[in-house]
Structure 1
């Protein structure tokens, strides 16, 4: 069982690393900044592969009641916000900066649990929230590659992620499995993003994209769709096999190796102040992992 958990954890880290690096390459190096099309493509591939897996018996998707589906609809709307805003932010921000801002979503979840659900919060989790907030708050003033648009979309992204996590925690037990939720997310996202591609101008602007007929672009887009699907599957498997603390530790490890690798592969300017902010954010997440392992 231990070997199996390690294999699942390493598979998750590999998919996480490859997915982020591929998306960053498409968004920043190739500059394919048409999020309704890019995210629509990814969710279409993910939805089709999940549907095929279901039909072949490789994945189980339950026939949910109409009330369960309608109850999950606000979460699917937030999912679209997560991937759309995340795509816009990642195209303008370095991966370590993006991940540091993304982690503030945990502060939103923690604050909701403390203030509205009156759950007991450990000192480690409180310190973690403070460190994550401090790191994210100081980054805009110490980022030599500061981009207002990137930070704007990152803030929208983290609020959507935080709200999505809150809805996930509030759902009825056994109402919808993680696979069911993702299937609904994929279906809703494809429809909404397809409808939004014309009003946003992406549908016709993409015709001017210089790499539209290049194999590098086609290969990267195919890889991004496949990697996103495998990342989703490995995340579901990770959560089903491991305790929350172990799962959080693997996610933290995946973020560390992804942030470190991105600095070597992409044009990233780091000053001592920027590194200090990133390390503070890393310390905050490490404390969050510690608190999860203690069962707080």
Structure 2
């Protein structure tokens, strides 16, 4: 399973910039089906990232499936297979599995497992609207990490946006009629894992470059391959810890074709984000890319709340709107 890039704007600085991106002017002049290519790329990126969240929410919440870690393991294995198939047909070139590279990357991978694992458990318990708002809190933790670890400074406008995110998240949780300590504990843990992934990945990329075959930073698809393939052993351990091996094959959802289809599509679309995000980034600027990612949370939250009939009230809805708006404003202010 891949992580959509708008989930954590901090990780976007690590994405390789395709050569197409150096010629945005010519890209703007190209058309696909009569539409500007940059618009088509943006729509594909937004549709893929939004659909992944909604499909995984559907798989976790609508079929009574009690083994979310097993679903995560399936999607990671599927993503690793799909990336390897792309390499076999010549679409991408991956870094080979080398013991020294695996040793350097594995700590990153453990944080990655924590990030996607807590995301799955949170998505199962918390509504889509509140999940999108609380995901913004990873920006608060990351900014604090930037200050204390990397000695970075931010303007008062950035801190103002972060403060608004924090207030809206707390207010939203306090007015959430479906509030559970379990669900929000998973969501808080996800914020810390997401920030830890961004902060640690930034520091380890130069070390990784020393062990790659071309002595350069690992590209996006190699990261997807390494993350998903190396995630399988820790996830199997987590399945054992949570007791999911017992009775897994007796889960009624596994005999439901709709559940199998939704689960597979969630994994395939999640993998497709890697292609659509790089394609869109090659057609536009990093600032526009980040801003569109933040704006995309708004329709995802709206569709999720309507599709899953999530109960809300005026206070809760107001906090969601403020939180999503603060996320967009944060991206705009930070880009300046």
TM-score range, shorter chain: over 0.9
Superposed CA deviations along residues 218-245 of structure 1, whole A, max 9, x for unmatched, are 2112211211111233234344554331
Other-structure match for 1:63: 96
Between the aligned partners of 2:150 and 2:289, the Cα distance in structure 1 is 23
1:42 corresponds to 2:96: no
Task: Give TM-score, length-normalised by structure 2.
Answer: 0.82
Between the aligned partners of 2:72 and 2:141, the Cα distance in structure 1 is 25
Between the aligned partners of 1:184 and 1:24, the Cα distance in structure 2 is 25
8 Å CA contact retained: 1:72, 1:181: no
Structure 2 residues without counterparts, runs of 5 or longer: 1-26, 29-35, 210-215
8 Å CA contact retained: 1:21, 1:262: yes
Instruction: Say which of 163, 166, 179 aligns to 2:221.
Output: 179
Between the aligned partners of 2:296 and 2:252, the Cα distance in structure 1 is 33
Instruction: Say which of 48, 51, 57 aligns to 1:18.
Output: 51
Other-structure match for 1:232: 274
Other-structure match for 1:223: 265
Segment drifting more, 153-162 vs 138-147: 138-147
Segment drifting more, 281-290 vs 62-71: 62-71
Structure 1 residues without counterparts, runs of 5 or longer: none
Task: Give TM-score, length-normalised by structure 1.
Answer: 0.93
Instruction: Say which of 110, 114, 136 aligns to 1:103.
Output: 136
Deviation of 1:291 after TM superposition, in Å, equals 2.0
Segment drifting more, 117-126 vs 184-193: 117-126
Between the aligned partners of 1:58 and 1:235, the Cα distance in structure 2 is 16
Count of residue pairs the alignment pairs up: 294
Other-structure match for 2:40: 7
8 Å CA contact retained: 2:63, 2:259: yes
Other-structure match for 2:13: none
Between the aligned partners of 1:224 and 1:36, the Cα distance in structure 2 is 14
Q: SS of the counterpart of 2:252?
A: coil
Residues 107-122 of structure 1 mapped to structure 2, 5 A cutoff: 107-122=140-155
Deviation of 1:88 after TM superposition, in Å, equals 0.7
8 Å CA contact retained: 1:103, 1:285: yes
Q: SS of the counterpart of 2:140?
A: helix
Q: SS of the counterpart of 1:212?
A: helix
8 Å CA contact retained: 2:64, 2:253: no
Between the aligned partners of 1:39 and 1:276, the Cα distance in structure 2 is 33
Residues 1-296 of structure 1 mapped to structure 2, 5 A cutoff: 1-2=27-28, 3-63=36-96, 66-170=99-203, 171-172=205-206, 174-294=216-336
Segment drifting more, 163-172 vs 37-46: 163-172
Superposed CA deviations along residues 69-108 of structure 1, whole A, max 9, x for unmatched, are 3222221111111111111110111101011111111111
